[in-house]
Copies of this chain bind each other. A is one copy, B any other.
Amino acid sequence: MNDQQEELAKYIKKMGGRLTPSRLLILKEIYRRHDHFDAEALCSELQKTHKSVSLASIYRTLPLLLDAGLIREIKTNNKKKLYEHVLGHHHHEHMICEECGKIIEFGDNPLERNIHQICERKRFLPKSHQIIITGICKECG
């Protein structure tokens, strides 16, 4: 049982829920891929393998994983919600190219420190944050 599975098991136990095969399949697929995905992409990928999970279950599981801190939501301009897994990755933010749609990840410690300072100053207890820069990437510009 790896980190993310233990984390999920712990969260589900705390919530009085059940660690089902579907939930594990979803979690595994999310940690197998290293990109930004939406519910449908996850569903069709799982269908390609033998064991598939209904879209409904995926939609019911994603909020759990979000709340458990196992995935993060990325707010793009699309109407579909995008997600990425969290464990085993440095914390980072996103740039989105308006031209080619590419999502570029970047990390910046001073920036993150700054955000926490602002929260302290405002006495706001941050649970999560997100920075999105929209524009034109160097290939398209």
* Among A4-12, A32-40, A54-62, A112-120, the stretch in contact with B: A112-120
Taking CB atoms and an 8 Å cut-off, the chain A residues in 11-28 that contact chain B are none
Given known contacts A125-B136, A131-B129, A133-B119, is B108 in contact with A111 (CB within 8 Å)?
no
Instruction: Tell me how far the C-beta of A119 lies from the nearest C-beta in chain B, rounded to whole angstroms.
Output: 6
B residues near A95, Cβ cutoff 8 Å: 119, 122, 124, 126
Is the pair A134, B125 in contact by a Cβ cutoff of 8 Å? no
| Given A115-B131, A119-B135, 12 further pairs, Cβ under 8 A | A75-B132, A98-B127, A104-B122, A111-B114, A111-B115, A115-B133, A123-B137, A124-B135, A124-B137, A126-B133, A128-B134, A130-B132
